[in-house]
């Protein structure tokens, strides 16, 4: 939330240019976590971060049990690929921590809310991409959990770890790793990019995050995310300094086009020009299509991003199955023994209620929590949500919101279906550019 506060002193390190700095956050980060529950109208909400997106069959079972024993029997998937448990009683904290900890889902209690990553979900499965994004994410997660200072990051600070196909790079990460051919990688932060060796990528991402924290503290405006830093900050110098201190050989490169502008939605990718010699996206990739992925994996989508515990259990029917949660409210199940098993699993998941085929208009539809779970909601948007008939809007993701916070809305261009409170909805096409303009106008209006 943007809030008007008295301006602080001009920054003396910006070459004499005067910038008025106002606080952009006036309260502590209250993002829910697995151990810090948010009190919603339908009970406690716990949010579990999955840095690599991967859950084993044992962990799938533990989460489904937690939803049954402690929550409302359902599991939500967020637009960052996190998992939500809702309807939790006030006194469930210890039992939930034991359940999640026992399943290996809480490696560090102190860091559980800062392990925010989106990772290319098909990395290593379909033969695309240039780097092992899963290995990068595991290493970056270990680095995050091994350092005390990282707990200073907000629960919204996001790392995007892209294997080079350009699927999660446009999702608005504060720090983005993008694999390149020939063992190279880009690390991007705040419109700046550096090229590093692939082996240094996780350390480089951590160095960039550390630079952000230092710059944010110096600015004193309470920024949680890179986009909230005030103009005139010294991010470039801070990143360069920390990369060098970490022993990373890095070359500063042109950052290329803004990734948020290029975000592909579920309903269709926006083409981005190849920029082989710079730090832009090579090509924007659409989310995994539902269906078979090769012979040993399947991709499915949870309608409106929420499943029952039984549906969740159905994902991992074998002990060797691995489930990857996607930032498009879907799941990729890997580790299947062959094509027949993959076809069988896809049929079972179709029968369980997942979206399993490309072309369903429901793939483009998402919704916030709405009534009765959210006290701000003006409507039960999940009951109302449906694909739109308007042919002119076809091809764009459609997001239904119960109020103007528009929680969980897509990136890039999308259709905004907003409850008005009188039983109707306003429908507007929003673009990344318009969203940026609106945010700036809101900040101006509050000065």
Pick the stretch among 9-17, 298-306, 346-354, 401-409 that binds ligand SF4 (CB under 6 A): 401-409
Strands 398-401 and 365-367: parallel
- Residue 108 exposure: Cα atoms within 13 Å on the Cβ side: 17
Alpha helices, DSSP H only, in 199-324?
201-219, 235-245, 309-315
Cβ proximity of 375 and 327 under 8 Å: no
Burial class (CB in 10 A: 0-12, 13-18, 19+), 213: middle
Cβ partners under 8 Å of residue 151, min gap 6 = 110, 111, 114
By beta-carbon proximity to ligand SF4, the closer residue of 63 and 367 is 367
Establish if 406 lies at the interface with ligand SF4 (CB under 6 A). Answer: yes
Tell the smallest beta-carbon distance from residue 401 to ligand SF4 (Å). 4
Establish if 76 lies at the interface with ligand SF4 (CB under 6 A). Answer: no
Tell the smallest beta-carbon distance from residue 278 to ligand SF4 (Å). 37
Tell the smallest beta-carbon distance from residue 408 to ligand SF4 (Å). 7
By beta-carbon proximity to ligand SF4, the closer residue of 250 and 368 is 368
Pick the stretch among 30-38, 51-59, 219-227, 405-413 that binds ligand SF4 (CB under 6 A): 405-413
Tell the smallest beta-carbon distance from residue 263 to ligand SF4 (Å). 19
Write out 345-377 in H/E/C secondary structure.
Answer: HHHHHHHCCCECCCCCHHHHEEECCCCCCCCCC
Number of amino acids touching ligand SF4 (CB under 6 A): 12
Q: CA nearest 376: which of 342, 335, 405?
A: 405
Closest CB to ligand SF4: residue number: 402
Site string for ligand SF4, 371-390 (x = CB under 6 A): ---x-xx-------------
Q: Can you tell me which of 162, 401, 412, 414 binds ligand SF4, judged by CB under 6 A?
A: 401
DSSP reduced 3-state for 313: helix
* 10-69 positions binding ligand SF4, by CB under 6 A: none
DSSP reduced 3-state for 417: strand
Establish if 156 lies at the interface with ligand SF4 (CB under 6 A). Answer: no
Site string for ligand SF4, 331-370 (x = CB under 6 A): -------------------------------------xxx
Tell the smallest beta-carbon distance from residue 30 to ligand SF4 (Å). 13
Q: How far is CA 156 from the centre of its chain?
A: 9
As a whole number of angstroms, the distance between CA 240 and CA 69 comes to 49
As a whole number of angstroms, the distance between CA 369 and CA 377 comes to 8
Q: CA nearest 73: which of 82, 60, 63, 83?
A: 63
Q: Can you tell me which of 164, 330, 402, 412 binds ligand SF4, judged by CB under 6 A?
A: 402
Chain positions contacting ligand SF4, by CB under 6 A = 368-370, 374, 376-377, 401-403, 405-407
């Amino acid at each position: 939330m943007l809030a008007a506060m008295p301006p602080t002193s001009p920054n003396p390190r910006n070459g004499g240019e005067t910038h008025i700095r106002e606080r952009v956050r006036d309260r502590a980060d209250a993002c829910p976590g697995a151990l810090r529950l948010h009190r919603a109208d339908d009970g406690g909400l716990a949010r579990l971060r999955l840095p690599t997106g991967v859950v084993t069959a044992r962990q799938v079972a533990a989460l489904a049990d937690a939803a049954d024993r402690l929550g409302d029997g359902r599991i939500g998937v967020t637009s960052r690929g996190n998992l939500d448990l809702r309807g939790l009683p006030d006194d469930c904290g210890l039992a939930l921590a034991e359940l999640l900890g026992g399943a290996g889902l809480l490696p560090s209690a102190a860091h559980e809310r800062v392990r925010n990553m989106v990772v290319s979900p098909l990395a290593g499965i379909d033969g695309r991409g240039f780097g092992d994004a899963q290995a990068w994410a595991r290493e970056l997660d270990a680095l995050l959990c091994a350092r005390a200072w990282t707990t200073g990051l907000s629960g919204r600070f996001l790392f995007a770890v892209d294997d080079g196909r350009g699927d999660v790079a446009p999702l608005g990460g504060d720090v983005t790793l993008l694999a390149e051919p020939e063992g190279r990688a880009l690390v991007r932060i705040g419109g700046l990019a550096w090229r590093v060796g692939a082996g240094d990528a996780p350390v480089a991402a951590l160095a960039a995050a550390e630079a952000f924290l230092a710059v944010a503290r110096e600015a004193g405006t309470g920024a949680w995310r890179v986009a909230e830093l005030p103009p005139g900050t010294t991010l470039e110098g801070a990143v360069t300094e920390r990369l060098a201190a970490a022993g990373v050989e890095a070359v500063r490169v042109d950052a290329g086009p803004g990734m948020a502008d290029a975000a592909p939605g579920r309903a269709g990718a926006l083409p981005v020009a190849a920029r082989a010699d710079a730090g832009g996206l090579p090509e924007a990739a659409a989310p995994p299509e539902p269906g078979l992925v090769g012979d040993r994996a399947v991709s499915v989508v949870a309608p409106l991003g929420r499943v029952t515990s039984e549906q969740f259990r159905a994902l991992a029917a074998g002990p060797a199955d691995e489930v990857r949660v996607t930032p498009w409210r879907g799941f990729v199940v890997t580790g299947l023994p062959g094509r027949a098993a993959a076809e069988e699993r896809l049929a079972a998941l179709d029968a369980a209620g997942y979206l399993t085929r490309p072309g369903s208009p429901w793939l483009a539809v998402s919704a916030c929590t709405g009534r009765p779970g959210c006290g701000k909601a003006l409507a039960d948007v999940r009951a109302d949500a449906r694909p739109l008939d308007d042919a002119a809007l076809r091809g764009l993701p459609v997001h239904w919101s119960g109020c103007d916070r528009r929680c969980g809305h897509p990136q890039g261009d999308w259709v905004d279906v907003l409850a008005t409170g009188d039983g109707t909805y306003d429908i507007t096409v929003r673009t990344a550019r318009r969203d940026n303009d609106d945010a700036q106008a809101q900040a101006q209006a509050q000065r």
